[in-house]
């Protein structure tokens, strides 16, 4: 079985649940202190793709904008194989920022796949047509309702991402 390493970004406004999603999913992570210090937290998770006979070693960059308006230096985004953009269903304005994150990601990593995680699904829901609209954004290959609290679809989002980065190559 071969191993490939991939850099995967977690993007999304402050407080949408990025760090919580990673915490639910990963095997190993650096202390949260790094997040507050330099705005990045690195975690690792290996996903085994039987059919592709491949272990995907995902190096997950949880990025924190230093301000409420979420300005992340482009250099942090460089060389990513995919991004998971997270929004908070209990604060619909965080959905409006999805295209902003998408633009920055696509500018730095043109053509790379993006998954959207609509988090805190345990606490709120979203009309289907809003979801469909998100799915039609360029580059977005999937939109999932997730909950870091109950674990809903958390594995699924990361595993879809693993699939995507391997088939995209």
Partner 1 sequence: MSDFEKLRSLLVGDEIDAIEELKARVARLAEALDDPEEIIERLSPWIDRILERNIGLRREQLVDTLSPIIAEVLGHEIRNSGEAIARTLAPVIGQAIRVQITTQRDEVVDALYPVIGATVVKAVSQAFRDLLNRINDEMQNTFSVASLRRKLTAKIKGIPEADLLIRENLPWHVKSVFLIHKTSGLLLAQKNAEDSAMEEPEMVASMLTAIRSFVNDWISRQENESEINQIEYGRSTIYLEVAGSCYIAVVLEGVPQMTLAQKISEVLSDIVGKYGETIQHFSGDRAELDTEEIDRMLGAIFAVETQFQDSKEKSAGSRWPLAVMAVLLLAGAAYLGYRTYIRWEAEKTAAEIKAHFETDPYLALYRIEPSVEDGRIVLDGAVPDANLSSYASRWVESHFPKKETLNRLVVAHRPDPYLEKIRSLEAQLDAYRKIPAVHRTFYYGLGKSNLTPEQRRQLEAIGTIMQIFPEYRMKVTGFSDRYGTPQERRIVAQKRADGVKKILTSSMGIDASRIETAADLSLPEETNNTAADDAAARKVEIELLEGRKGSQ
Ligand X SMILES: Nc1nc2c(ncn2[C@@H]2O[C@H](COP(=O)(O)OP(=O)(O)O)[C@@H](O)[C@H]2O)c(=O)[nH]1
> What is the binding site for Mg ion (CB under 5 A)?
18-19
CB closer to Mg ion, 120 vs 163: 120
Q: Which does 7 bind (CB under 5 to 8 A by kind): Mg ion, partner 1, ligand X, none?
A: partner 1
Residues 6+ apart with CB under 8 A from 99: 137
Q: Which of 6, 7, 8, 18 binds ligand X (CB under 6 A)?
A: 18
Residues facing residue 48 across a β-bridge: 55
Using alpha carbons, select from 75, 38, 37, 82 the residue that is nearest to residue 59. 82
Please tell me whether residue 80 binds partner 1 under the rule CB under 8 A.
yes
CB closer to partner 1, 24 vs 131: 24
Q: Can you give the binding site for partner 1, defined by CB under 8 A?
A: 2-7, 28, 30-31, 33-34, 37-40, 42-44, 57, 59, 61, 73, 75-76, 78-81, 169
């Amino acid at each position: 079985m071969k191993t490939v390493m991939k850099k995967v970004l977690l993007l999304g406004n402050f407080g949408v649940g990025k760090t919580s999603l990673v915490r639910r999913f990963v095997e190993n992570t650096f202390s949260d202190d790094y997040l507050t210090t330099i705005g990045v937290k690195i975690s690792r998770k290996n996903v085994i793709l039987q059919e592709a006979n491949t272990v995907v070693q995902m190096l997950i960059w949880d990025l924190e904008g230093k301000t409420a308006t979420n300005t992340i230096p482009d250099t942090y985004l460089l060389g990513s194989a995919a991004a998971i953009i997270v929004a908070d269903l209990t604060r619909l304005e965080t959905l409006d920022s999805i295209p902003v994150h998408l633009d920055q990601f696509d500018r730095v990593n043109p053509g790379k796949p993006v998954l959207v995680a609509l988090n805190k699904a345990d606490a709120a829901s979203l009309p289907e047509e809003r979801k469909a609209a998100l799915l039609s954004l360029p580059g977005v290959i999937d939109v999932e309702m997730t909950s870091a609290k109950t674990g809903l679809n958390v594995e699924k989002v990361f595993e879809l991402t693993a699939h995507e980065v391997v088939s995209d190559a």
